[in-house]
Amino acid sequence: MTKSSSSRQVGDVKGSGFQPDRSELVRTPRDLDSLALDYSKRPPELEFLRISLRQKLPPDILVMHDKLVAGGKRSIAPRFANACTECSGEVTVAGGAKRLAGMFVQCPHCGTLLYG
Ligand SMILES: [Zn+2]
């Protein structure tokens, strides 16, 4: 048990380098994830929303999203304290590491796209 919630420094976002499309890159797969939960029903209006959301995502992200959702998983999750918040596996990212769409790394344990 090493989980001590000592630091409460959430929201420490540096204002200058923040681009709006980055937040959209996080929000869009998340919206798609929640839509995927209702996938069996597929009402036409949700299907329309799903398609329009998909058009916002880069193709390589979309491919991974589809794979994960097909496996019944969420496609993206935040990385916190060098760990995947989806599977709790350790995920360390080197400073110069290549990131998918400029911001995601794929968890080597569960495959979830991680941001942060
Ligand atoms: Zn993981």
Three-point CA angle 12, 18, 21, nearest 5° = 130
20-115: CATH architecture: Orthogonal Bundle (1.10)
- Rounded CA-CA distance 15/74 in Å is 28
For residue 81, how far is its CA from the centre of ligand 1 (angstroms)?
Answer: 13
Mean pLDDT of the chain: 83
- Residue 80 and residue 91: Cα distance in Å, rounded? 9
Between the CA of 111 and the centroid of ligand 1 the distance, in Å, is 6
Q: Taking Cα atoms as reference points, which of 66, 99, 81 lies closest to residue 9?
A: 81
- pLDDT at position 7 is 46
Tell me, in angstroms, the distance from the centre of ligand 1 to residue 43's CA: 31
Q: What distance in angstroms lies between residue 113's CA and the mean position of ligand 1's atoms?
A: 8
Distance CA 112, CA 77 (A): 7
pLDDT one-digit tens code per residue, 9-66? 444 444 444 444 888 899 999 999 888 766 566 678 888 899 999 999 999 999 999 9
Tell how far the Cα of 32 is from the centroid of ligand 1, in angstroms: 19
Distance 110 CA to ligand 1 centre (A): 4
- The predicted structure's pLDDT at residue 37: 65
The pTM (predicted TM-score) of the whole model is 0.73
